[in-house]
Structure 1
C-alpha cells in the first residue's frame, strides 16, 4: 500500500480559535476538577475548570494592559508546571501567539528565538530563564510565580468587551504558536502552527480516543510543555475534562504515580525501559532473576496472543499460558501496576520508536501501550494504534483527518488537519513539501491495513565506499534496547565498512568507568549484527558519553544531534578505521 487515509470525525466549522475549547468546557462543566496542582508542602490542590478559566482571563487582561497587541509573540520559558498552562491559554485569550522555549535552552538559542519571533513579552520559570530572556532583549519578562498575580492586578481595568475583542481576533487560519524544532540534523526552524491545526488535532483525537480521554479519568504531564506533544495532550484533556497534574522533574514521576493514580499516561520508550530494568534489578537482588525472565517471556506471549485474538482478552490464550500468567501476575505484574498507581488503563508512547518486545511486554502485564507517530510540523500525532487494534512494531494508522503516503524513495509524506502550512522562514520550505504533502524525512512502509512501520531517517542512510546503501535504523534500535545505552549512531559514509559511536546512558552503573562496559556492549553488538546482513554489520565501535545538559549535542527531548556528535568525535571515528 502506498497511501492510507482516515476521514475526519470532528466538525470544526463552529470553532473560531483554540480559546473556544476552554469556553465550551467551562459552559458544560464549570465545577468539574480540571487540574491537580502541586503545593509547596508536597500536597496537591484541585482546580476547577471555572477557576482555571478565571485565572486565564485575569492574566490575559494583564497582558493587554501591558501593551500586547493581537498577533504579537509571547514566549514561555519554563519547566512543566500548572502556571505554564495558565500562561499558554492567557496568551491566546489576549490575542497573542505563543512561542515555547525549552527551559534548558542556551542563551544563544533563546536570543535566536526571541529575535526571529519578535518576542515582545515573555514568561520565565526561574532566575536562569529570566536572565536569558532579559539578555535576549525581551522588553518585559514576567515571573511565572508571583508575577502572574501582579500581572492580573495590572489588568483589573480591562473591560470584558476589550478582552472579548482580543480573544476573538484570531481566526482558524491565524498563527497560534511558533514552535522551534530541536534540530537533530540541522539548524532549528520555526514551525508556524495555526488555530485550525490545533482544533483539528484536539477534536479528532479526542473523538477517536474517547474511551481513553474521559472526564472520569486523569493524567500526569511531565514531558516538556515546550514540546508540541505535551501541549496537544494538555488541550485534548482540557477540552474533554480529563484532570491534569504537572510534574517538572521526570525523576519525581514514579513516586507521584501512587498518589495521583492516573488512568492514562504519555511516556517515552526510555521510561518503560527503566521501569523494566528496575524490576529486573529488584528480582536479581532477591535471587528471582530466573522467575523474572520467565515472567517477561509469559507477558510477551500473552501480549502477542491478545493482539492476535479478536477481542484481545485472556480467554483467547491457551490454558497453560493463562495459568503461567496468573502466577506471574501475583508475583510481578500486579506490583508493577501498583507502582504506577493501579488505575492505568493505557499508556501512549511517543518521541522515539518503541521496540515491539516492550509493547508486547506491557500489554501482557495489563497496561497496553499505544504507540503513535508525529512531528512538530504535524501538530503532534499523525498516526496511532487504536484501543483494541494495537499492532506492536507499528505506529498505527493515520488518525482522523490525516493522510500518509509513501514516496518512491520510501519517505513518509503527510497531509491533513494537523499538518502545518510552512516555516516562519520561507527558505526552509524549499524542500519541505512535495505535491501538497509534507516531507517528514522518515522512511517507512504501510501494510495492507494502512498501518505505518518506521524504518529510519532519510538523512541517516549510509552509502559505503563500495556503493552499498544501508539504512542503519534496525541495528541502532537493537543496540538502544540495552539498558546501558542511550543512543547508537552508525558511521560509514564513504568508508569501506560500518563502525558506530555508542552513547552510554548517564544513569548507567559505574558510568565514570566507560571501559568497564565494553565487553558487555560487545555482546549486544554481536547480537545486533546477527539480525542484519553482512554489509549492515558494525565491525568496530567506541563508547562515548554525552552530557544531557549540553544543548549543542543533546536536544531538550534527549535526542542526540548526530551531526554535532560526529563532529566532536571525528578523531575517535578516524581511529576506528586505522
Structure 2
C-alpha cells in the first residue's frame, strides 16, 4: 500500500486498486427489504463523493471548517462523510435522535458551517438548535443545512449542482490539504453523565486504527466478505468499521431500523456483523420462545446446554490442540445441530463467520452458546476516545468474558485502583475544552474510567465502571455490574440498576422491556398492563409480571456474594417517548439520569424495609 497522508487516501487507493469491486449494497428509499438492492462499485461511490465534495467547496466551506452529519445510518451518510473529508472539512456526527437542547450544546461548541441531515424534521430541529445556540446563518451562503431525502427542496442534488464549476485539480488540492496530525472529526460523547464532551480525533487516529485493525483481522475483513451496518454511524465503532470495510473491500449494506436486522440477515447473508449484546440476547430469547410455543422446551434447554459445552470445549482446544471432545458431546452437538443450530444460523443468513460484540459487556455463557452453534463471537473493547477498537479477541484464541489483548499500535495497563489506562495510535488528541483534559490522562495514558485486569498473556477482562462503584453507609465497596448483568439475562428486563450509595443495604431497579413484555402477555392470551402504555415512569404492580421478574432477581442474588445481594427491588415501565432520556442510541443506560427521575421509587423501597439512608 502506498503512503497514506490522510483518511481520504484510503478510498482513493481502493478506487485505484479495485474500481469495479462492489463496495456497497444500497436500498432504495422505502423499498421493501426483499426487493433487489442496488450494487454500488468503488468507482461509482467515489464519483458521488467527489461531486458532493465539489458542492461543499463551492458553498464556501474552507479547509478545517466543521460540517455536521445528523442522520440515521444509511448509504448517503457514507457519501456525506467522505465528501466532507475530501473537501478538507472536519466532520461532526450527531445522533438524529438528539433533542434541541442537546444539539444546541454541540453546535455552540463545534460552530458548524454546513450540515447534512436525514429528513426535513431533522433540518427543522437542527435549525432551532442553531438559533438557540446563537448561530446566525451567513446571508451570503443560505441554505447550508442539506437534506438526504430527495423529496426535500434542500436535497443534496442542489448542493451537487453548486459544485459543477469546481475542477478536479481544485478538489485534489483541498483533499490533500490535511496531514495525519490534523483533526478529521470531533465526536461528542453520548453524555451518560452530563453534557457531551467533544473528543478530537485526528487523521492519524483513524488511519492507524483502520490499518492495524485490518491487519489483526485479515481473515474477517476481506474482499469476499460483506456486512450489514445498523449501529448509528454517529458512534465511532460503526464509523470505524465502515472505514475499515471501504479500505479493504468488504461490501457494506446499511439499515436505519435495527428491528429490520433479522429479516435483512436472510436476504443479504452477511459474513460478518457487529452487534451489541442485546441483539444476541434477543436472538437467544426468540429461539427459546419458539421452543416454548412448539412445546419442546426440555429439548431446547438440552440443546442450549450442549451448545455452551461445545463452546467451552472449543475455547479449551484453542489453548491445547491435543484435546478431543467426549463422544457423548459430539453426538449431542451433531443431533442438536440438525434440530436447532442449523435453523439459527439460517435465521442469521447462513454465512456469518464471525460476530463482533461491543458497546457493552457480553455474558460469557452467551458467547459460548453462539460459538457452540457455529457462530464465534469476537469480544472487543474501545471508547470514543480510543477511536473505537482498543482491544479485541483474535480468531483462534477467543476467550469468553475477555475483550482480548490490545490491537497493534495500542497498549493497556492497569492503575493501582484497577482503572484501565490506554495509550497508542487510536488514543485521541484530547477534548475540545482544555478543562476536560485535566484529569483525562496520567503519565501519557488515557484514563478510560473502566475497571479491569490483565491476564498473563495480556488479554483484558473488564469488571465494571469506576464511577459506578457503590460505597454503602456501612463501608462496603461494590461493583454493581455483576448483579445487573445477571438480572438483564431475563428476556423481560431491558436494564437493571443496583442502588446503595450511602445506604445501609442494596436495592434494585428493573427497567422492563416494553416490547418483550407486550409479546409475553399476548402469547398467553392476556392483555398487557395498561401502565405499559402510559407516559413517564410507572411502577409495575402486575403480579403475573413481578412473579416472572422475581425469578431473575433471585437467580442474580444466588450468584452474587452476600454483600452484593439486594434486599428489595422494584420494576418500572418507562414510556417510549421518555426512554431516550435514560438510554443512549447504543443502548447504554444513563444511570444518573434514571436515578434522579426515580428518587421517589427508591425512597419507597428503603422505607418499605423500615430504613432510610
**TM-score, structure 1 length as denominator?**
0.96
In the TM superposition, residue 417 of structure 1 has moved relative to its aligned partner by 0.6
Equivalent in 591, 600, 608 of residue 562 of structure 1: 591
In the TM superposition, residue 408 of structure 1 has moved relative to its aligned partner by 0.2
**Further displaced range: 520-529 or 364-373:** 520-529
In the TM superposition, residue 314 of structure 1 has moved relative to its aligned partner by 12
Counterpart Cα distance in 1 of 2:503 and 2:64? 51
- 2:24 matches 1:35: yes
In the TM superposition, residue 405 of structure 1 has moved relative to its aligned partner by 0.7
Contact 1:70 1:96 in 2 (8 A): yes
Equivalent position of 2:421 in the other structure: 413
Counterpart Cα distance in 1 of 2:326 and 2:595? 50
Contact 2:63 2:88 in 1 (8 A): yes
Contact 1:197 1:379 in 2 (8 A): yes
Equivalent in 394, 398, 406 of residue 398 of structure 1: 406
Equivalent position of 1:46 in the other structure: 39
Equivalent position of 2:521 in the other structure: none
Equivalent position of 2:557 in the other structure: 529
Counterpart Cα distance in 1 of 2:318 and 2:412? 26
Counterpart Cα distance in 1 of 2:425 and 2:69? 25
Equivalent position of 2:240 in the other structure: 232
Cα deviations across residues 227-275 of structure 1 (Å, max 9, x unaligned)? 0000000000000000000000001111111110100000110011111
In the TM superposition, residue 151 of structure 1 has moved relative to its aligned partner by 1.4
Q: Residues 75-86 of structure 1: matches in 2 within 5 Å?
A: 75-86=68-79
Equivalent in 526, 545, 557 of residue 517 of structure 1: 545
- 2:246 matches 1:253: no
- 2:146 matches 1:142: yes
In the TM superposition, residue 384 of structure 1 has moved relative to its aligned partner by 0.4
- 2:306 matches 1:298: yes
**Further displaced range: 106-115 or 385-394:** 106-115
Equivalent in 95, 98, 102 of residue 105 of structure 1: 98
In the TM superposition, residue 347 of structure 1 has moved relative to its aligned partner by 0.5
Question: Secondary structure of 2:164's match?
Answer: coil
Equivalent in 92, 110, 123 of residue 116 of structure 2: 123
- 2:482 matches 1:474: yes
Q: How many aligned residue pairs are there? A: 567
410 and 567 in structure 1: CA distance in 2 versus 1, 3 angstrom threshold: same
In the TM superposition, residue 575 of structure 1 has moved relative to its aligned partner by 1.0
Equivalent position of 2:55 in the other structure: 62
In the TM superposition, residue 549 of structure 1 has moved relative to its aligned partner by 4.6
Counterpart Cα distance in 2 of 1:187 and 1:410? 26
Contact 2:90 2:186 in 1 (8 A): yes
In the TM superposition, residue 141 of structure 1 has moved relative to its aligned partner by 0.4
The structure, 1 or 2, with the larger RCO (C-alpha pairs under 8 Å, 6+ apart) is 1
Counterpart Cα distance in 2 of 1:385 and 1:36? 28
**Further displaced range: 567-576 or 528-537:** 528-537
Question: Secondary structure of 1:466's match?
Answer: coil
In the TM superposition, residue 561 of structure 1 has moved relative to its aligned partner by 1.0
Contact 1:546 1:553 in 2 (8 A): no
Contact 2:192 2:590 in 1 (8 A): yes
- 2:275 matches 1:271: no
Contact 1:385 1:391 in 2 (8 A): yes
Equivalent position of 1:370 in the other structure: 378
Contact 1:61 1:152 in 2 (8 A): yes
**Further displaced range: 166-175 or 505-514:** 505-514
Equivalent position of 1:17 in the other structure: 6
Contact 2:52 2:80 in 1 (8 A): yes
Counterpart Cα distance in 2 of 1:403 and 1:384? 12
Counterpart Cα distance in 1 of 2:243 and 2:577? 29
Counterpart Cα distance in 1 of 2:261 and 2:581? 27
Equivalent position of 2:353 in the other structure: 345
Equivalent in 214, 223, 227 of residue 206 of structure 1: 214
Counterpart Cα distance in 2 of 1:420 and 1:361? 35
Q: Unpaired segments of 5 or more residues in structure 1? A: 1-10
Contact 1:306 1:314 in 2 (8 A): no
Equivalent position of 1:490 in the other structure: 498
In the TM superposition, residue 548 of structure 1 has moved relative to its aligned partner by 5.1
- 2:604 matches 1:575: yes
Cα deviations across residues 1-21 of structure 1 (Å, max 9, x unaligned)? xxxxxxxxxx9x921110000
Counterpart Cα distance in 2 of 1:469 and 1:356? 24
Counterpart Cα distance in 1 of 2:73 and 2:244? 17
Contact 1:348 1:372 in 2 (8 A): yes
Equivalent position of 2:84 in the other structure: 91
Contact 2:106 2:196 in 1 (8 A): no
In the TM superposition, residue 536 of structure 1 has moved relative to its aligned partner by 1.3
Question: Secondary structure of 1:76's match?
Answer: strand
Contact 2:419 2:447 in 1 (8 A): yes
Contact 1:193 1:379 in 2 (8 A): yes
- 2:570 matches 1:542: yes
Counterpart Cα distance in 2 of 1:316 and 1:347? 25
Equivalent in 381, 386, 393 of residue 389 of structure 2: 381
Cα deviations across residues 357-388 of structure 1 (Å, max 9, x unaligned)? 00000000000000100000000011100001
Q: Unpaired segments of 5 or more residues in structure 2? A: 138-143, 519-527, 533-539, 608-613
In the TM superposition, residue 546 of structure 1 has moved relative to its aligned partner by 2.8
Contact 1:217 1:243 in 2 (8 A): yes
Equivalent position of 2:178 in the other structure: 170
Question: Secondary structure of 1:540's match?
Answer: strand
Question: Secondary structure of 1:276's match?
Answer: helix
233 and 548 in structure 1: CA distance in 2 versus 1, 3 angstrom threshold: farther
Counterpart Cα distance in 2 of 1:229 and 1:199? 14
**TM-score, structure 2 length as denominator?**
0.90
Equivalent position of 1:8 in the other structure: none
199 and 346 in structure 1: CA distance in 2 versus 1, 3 angstrom threshold: same
